[in-house]
Structures are given as C-alpha cells and as structure tokens.
Amino acid sequence: MKQGGLRGYIIRRLIYAALITLGVVTVTFFLLRVGPSSPADKYLANMSARTQDPSQVIAAIEARYGLDEPIYEQYIDYVVNLARGDWGWSFSTSMPVMKLIQRHWIYSFQLILLSMLFSASLGILIGIYSAIKQYTKVDYLATFFSFIGISIPNFWLGIMLILLFSGTGLGWFKVYYDTGLPLFSLANLKALVLPVITLGTGMMAGYTRYARSAILDNLRKDFVRTARAKGLPERVVIGKHVFRNAILPIITIIMFDLSGVVFGGAYLTEIIFGIPGLGRISFNAIFANDYPVVVTITLIGALVALLTNLVTDIVYTRLDPRIRYD
Amino acid sequence: MMRQVSNKVGGLRNLIFIGVLLVLILILLSDIYLVDQILEPLEYFYLFFAAVAIFYGIYPLYANRRLTKYYWQRIKKHRLSVIGLAFITFLIVVALIGPIFTQDPTKVNFAEKNVPPVGFTVQQFVYDLQAEEFVVQEIPGTWQHPLGTDDKGRDMLAMLVSGARVSLQVGLLAVLIAVFIGTIMGVVSAYFGGVADMVLMRFTDIMMTFPFFLLLVFIIFIFGPSLVFIILVIGLTSWTGTARLVRSEALSLRTREFIMASKSLGASDTRIVFRHLIPNVISVVIVIATLSIPGVIVAEAALSFIGLGDPTVTSWGVVLNAGQRSLDTAWWVAVEPGIILFLTVLAFNFLGDGIRDAFDPRSQL
C-alpha cells in the first residue's frame, strides 16, 4: 500500500502478468525444442514428395526459419515474432496464422459467451433458491442434479443430444453447425442451442454448488440477523444483503474456471458440432501437421485465461473495499 | 487423526520406500543404457503404484485396525460413497479378469456388424446374394454379443472391458504421479519458503495458466500418443492443484506447536518434512486424489475420442468415436461407453465426497 494503493497494485499485477506470459511462451518454446520431431520435420511432412532430396529441403527450411542458429537466438526470435504478431504461416489453409485466427475466433467467442450467460444465470438462480430452501425437497433435487451435471462428460452429453434431438431423433436441430448463417441472427441462435447446453450443463452444475454454499455462508452472518431484526422483508434481506456479498466470490470462481473447464469443453463441443471456432481449427491443424496453428491456439488459450484473471482481480478490488492490495 | 497413524508406524517405512524407489530407478537406468529390457514401461508405473499403496495405504491401515474401523464406519454413513466404492471395486475386478472371458476387442467381422444389444431388434438394409438386391432384414440381438457390435462387427462388451482397463490405468497411475509431485512441491515450498517457495509457486502459476486440455493436446501433438506417455503427461501437467492445496495446508501446520517442539529438540529438516508435515497433509492429499481421478479419466477418453489416444489400445473414447460415426444406424455404440464413463465418474465423485466427510466434516474442499 506504500506504493500508491490501487494504482501501485494494478501496476504490480500487470508486471506480474507480463512475467507469467513470458513464462508461458518459454514453456511452449521448450516443449517444441525437446520434442522428438523438429519443426522442420513437421514442415517437411507438408511439402512431401515435392523434391528428390529431403535433406536439402530440411536445410532450406532450417535456414528459412532460423533453426540453424544457436538456441538462444532462436528463442529471442520466437518471442519477438510472437510479440510482433507474426505467428507463422499455416500450410494447411495457406494463409498467415493471424488471419486464420481473425477469421475464426468469433465462433468460439459466441459459443463461450452464450454458454457462460446460460450457465451462470441459471446456475446462480438455482443455487440461491436451493440455499433459501435448504433441506427441502427442492434443495435435495437441485443438489442431486448438480452432482449429475458435474459428472456427465460433456462430449458424451453432446452426442446424446444429437441422438435425441436432431437427425434421426426428433429432428429439431441440424446435426452440424451451418456456417452460412449470419452471426447474431435468430437462426444462428437456434443452431447454437445444443452446443450451448453441451458446454453449459457441467458449468451450470458447478455454479449451482458454488452459489448455494456462498449464499449459505452469508445467511449465517450477523448482518443478516440484524437486517431481519430490523423487520426488513425477506426479499430485501436476500436480494440486497446476502446476494451482494455472495456474488463476488461466485464471479471470481466463474472467471477462474474459464481456463480449466470452459476452454477444454469448448474445444470438444466445437469438434462434435462442427463449429469452425479455434478448437476446431486446432483439431484440423493437428491432423494436417500444421504446427504454427496448434502452438498459437494453445498460447491464445493461456493468454485469454491470464487476462480474464487479471481483469477479475483488478475489478474485484474496485468492487470490494475490504480487499487489501497485497 | 492421521498423525497418530504415522507415529505408530515409524520412520523405517520411509527408508524402505525410498530404497524401493532407488531400485526402480536403477532398473530404469539399466533399461535405458543396457540392451536387455527388464521391465515394460507400464510395469514401472504399476510397481510404483504398488509401493505407494503398500507403504502408505495398506500397511498403515493394517497397523491401526482400530482407526481403520473408525474411518470405515464414518464412510459407511455416506450411503452413496459406499455404492461408489462398490462400483469401483466391480470395475477393477472386471478390468483385471474380464479380458480372459470376453472376445478379442480388436477382432473385425463385417458379417456381424451393427448387431443390437440383447433384447433389441433393428432393421437393416442387407444385400441379398440370391435375389441380387437390397432387402430389409430384421436383426435381433444375440447372446453371442450381449451388448451388440459396432460398425466393424467388433464385440461391444469386449471393447468396454478393455476400455475399463485403460481408463483405470490412466486414472489411477496419472493421479498418483500428479499427487506425488504436487505433495513434494507443496511441502517443500511451504517449509523452506523464501526463494524455493517463490520459484516453485511461480512455476505453478505458469502451469496453471495453460488450459489443461489444450496443453494436453499440444504436448501429445508434439510427442505423439502412446498410453505410457499419456499417463506421464497427464501426471506431469495436473499436479498444480495439489501443490497449492498442500502448500496452504503445510503453511498452517508449520507454525503449530508440535513442529516447533520437534525443531527445538533438534530434528533435521528431512525428519520434520517426512515425519510431521507429509503425514499430516496426507488426508487432504487422499481426498484431492480421489476427486481428481474422474477428471483424468474423462480427459483420456476425450483425447482418444478426438483421435489423439494410443492407437493400439481400445479405450472408451475410441468406442465413443465409432459411436458418433454411426449414430443413425447403431445408437448403442455411442450410448453404452458413455453410460459406463458417466457411472465411473459419478462413483469416484461420490467416494471422494464420502472420504472427505470421513476425514474432516468441516472441510470446505
């Protein structure tokens, strides 16, 4: 707090985030270099049968991408190129990786955003209701279903939804996502119903549990007893006093979940439903041996997670005056 | 509670355990540098698992029968966790002896493709050689294939039994590795503090920043898939949660009186870490281990579902993949492995909850 309170805190957090980013980049560089096949091999796999002498091609590729330089120079090049936005060339799609990402990130974004809205709103509501009605049938039912929701593997849930509601089942939805639909249209929203349920169910179950325990924690606090003793209606006690105190930790957990649960889930959901987001692109790139795409998407996942955590932490300190800046 | 277990059993156990580890490392070195292969890669994991289970699971429980009985009674109160334990035991038995009784899960037989499970009948277009045209034929399920066959005529039951073996291998072994690393990282970081703490915890932060599944896919993409490698990678990437939890637990223990007392009596750092800190965080570690097994099993299934699993083994994910391809013609291929996967995850979650409540009813884990 000596260094200017909130501003000092934000600056320190930013420096720390930059260091972690460098660490993340270093880990990927290290993994790429210790891998059994050098990047040149992966490039070669894409250019196979174009020439008679592979060793010549390897030498050419190594010279072109600086792989014959000493390892520290390669490392510096790698970091500098990433920072400049030069993320390499995607062989399988014949365009710069940057352009590929720009074209496809929106599909992942809309899936994740809608799933989070769906699961957070419903999960928190059920959690609150279940906490207020603790030890009633409703509470047991909600707890039971959240247990099932947490345990159900989301990619299997997706397949079951397809089996029941589209194609040969009830036929309400298309089996594959139609990329021709304009974004932010009603038809697009309908096409995303099953993917959002697939990705959102597990998250919703988790949020129900967090919300329930956060509300229960606060219901036992003294200020709630005071509020009730003042004669405030229960609606105000829950809505104002309890909810406002419980919501912050819930939001932190939701944001923290993003990297662990949501990105992995979105990856699989996109593959099952054929949504052309970053997960699907990375999946295609893996089987085309298109390694710059795979590296970049892994890095983007890590950086987005880092950034959301950073923003959440900073916003949190603004919203909750009790937090200390250390 | 757990502290009493450790004091009774004594420190000789740790020495023997480290001895066993050293022997394993020696065999590993000879396997790497000498021509004759002594052990298969997977067998190292089994021996490691067996050593940990015997020295830190079975023996302490046996030596303290009264406490064991007490824990068992508390777990028993949690009816669902007993059901979970029963299901897991059943699954382990099936995985161990099932493959003896079932058919070869890789045997392809196109004459018997898409046969439904017993009790179901489906209609299929079949080419009739005599009439030289496609006819609709009713195909009933037979006891030959109790759970049906997939689009290549492979027996579903055999594939699911084989998948149970794969899933349990991955789940138990990878979590063991993760928990082993996490515990050591957490305790060292908390006890020694300072630079060690900073370096280890910053590294933990970096590893935690990667989305788990994306990192897994990335590493498998670079190094190529094999079952041993998948186990190793999951173990080496999922220790972060344990490390953090153990660290915070050990930090609060460090200031407690019995550690102070032992320090002022002149105990060495190793003695305090191994005799006092680790035994006292074990209960937390057991709970987090049980609760992280389902995530690991699902991660392996997801990997093999998208085609990044070991191509030589039949895991539930591989069957699910075949199932998604033939949803229109053979719904059971996608339904059956998913149900078992779901029940397995549920069972481990129930058991983990039960163990947590038995060890510490107030825990907020």
**pLDDT band (50, 70, 90) for residue B63:** confident
Q: Contact A215/A131 with Cβ under 8 angstroms? A: yes
pLDDT, tens digit, 9 for 90 and up, residues A116-175: 999 999 999 999 989 988 888 988 899 889 989 989 998 999 999 888 888 777 777 777
pLDDT at B16 over 60: yes
Say what the ipTM of the complex is: 0.85
Question: Average pLDDT for residues B59-85, to the nearest whole number?
Answer: 82
pLDDT at B339 over 90: yes
Q: Which residues of B touch A263 (CB under 8 A)?
A: 211, 213-214
pLDDT at B6 over 50: no
Q: CA of A20, closest CA in chain B: separation in Å?
A: 6
Query: How far apart (Å, rounded) are the C-alpha atoms in residues A77 and A65?
Result: 10
Confidence (pLDDT) at B338: 92
Q: CA of A196, closest CA in chain B: separation in Å?
A: 18
Confidence (pLDDT) at B257: 86
**pLDDT band (50, 70, 90) for residue A274:** confident
Output the pTM of the full model. 0.86
Query: How far apart (Å, rounded) are the C-alpha atoms in residues B318 and B165?
Result: 13
Q: Contact B183/B278 with Cβ under 8 angstroms? A: yes
For residue B364, how many C-alpha atoms fall within 13 Å in the half-sphere facing its CB? 8
**pLDDT band (50, 70, 90) for residue A326:** low
The enclosing H or E element of A95 equals strand A95-96
CA B337 to chain centre: 17
Query: How far apart (Å, rounded) are the C-alpha atoms in residues B340 and B347?
Result: 10
pLDDT, tens digit, 9 for 90 and up, residues B287-322: 888 889 999 999 999 999 988 888 888 899 999 988
The token pair that represents A243 in the structure block: 């909810």
Tell if the CB–CB gap between A163 and B334 is shorter than 8 Å.
yes
Least reliable range by pLDDT among A297-311, B61-75, B160-174, B250-264: B61-75
CA dist list (Å): B249 to A96, A111, B155: 48, 38, 48
Mean pLDDT over each residue of chain B, to the nearest integer: 83
**Residue A124, Cβ neighbours under 10 Å: how many?**
24
Confidence (pLDDT) at B301: 93
Q: B362 at the A interface (CB within 8 A)? A: no
Query: How far apart (Å, rounded) are the C-alpha atoms in residues A60 and A67?
Result: 10
Residue A218: is it exposed, middle or buried by C-beta count within 10 angstroms (0-12/13-18/19+)? buried
Question: Average pLDDT for residues B206-234, to the nearest whole number?
Answer: 87
Q: Which residues of B touch A152 (CB under 8 A)?
A: 342, 345
Q: What DSSP letter does each residue of A5-69 carry, written as one string?
A: HHHHHHHHHHHHHHHHHHHHHHHHHHHHHHSSS-HHHHHHHHSTTS-S-HHHHHHHHHHHTTTTS
**pLDDT band (50, 70, 90) for residue A52:** low
Confidence (pLDDT) at B5: 44
Q: In percent, how much of chain B has pLDDT > 90?
A: 13
Q: What angle do CA B109, B114, B120 make, to 5 degrees?
A: 135
Residue B363 falls in which region: left (phi positive, over 0), alpha (psi -120 to 50) or beta: beta
Question: Average pLDDT for residues A277-299, to the nearest whole number?
Answer: 86
**pLDDT band (50, 70, 90) for residue A80:** confident
Could you tell me which residue, A263 or A324, shows the higher pLDDT? Answer: A263
Task: Give the B window 173-212 contacts with A, CB below 8 Å.
Answer: 202-203, 205-212
**Among candidate residues B98, B144, B99, B136, the one with its CA nearest the CA of residue B118:** B144
Confidence (pLDDT) at B8: 42
Q: What DSSP letter does each residue of A259-323 carry, written as one string?
A: IIIIHHHHHHHHHHHT--SHHHHHHHHHHTT-HHHHHHHHHHHHHHHHHHHHHHHHHHHHH-TT-
pLDDT at A51 over 80: no
Confidence (pLDDT) at A1: 43
Least reliable range by pLDDT among A31-35, A211-215, B237-241: A31-35
Question: Average pLDDT for residues B107-128, to the nearest whole number?
Answer: 75
Q: What are phi and psi of A219, to 5 degrees?
A: -65, -25
Least reliable range by pLDDT among A306-310, B66-70, B89-93, B134-138: B134-138
Tell if the CB–CB gap between A259 and B218 is shorter than 8 Å.
no
Confidence (pLDDT) at B9: 45
pLDDT at A48 over 70: no
Q: CA of B115, closest CA in chain A: separation in Å?
A: 18
pLDDT at B363 over 60: no
Question: Average pLDDT for residues A181-187, to the nearest whole number?
Answer: 75
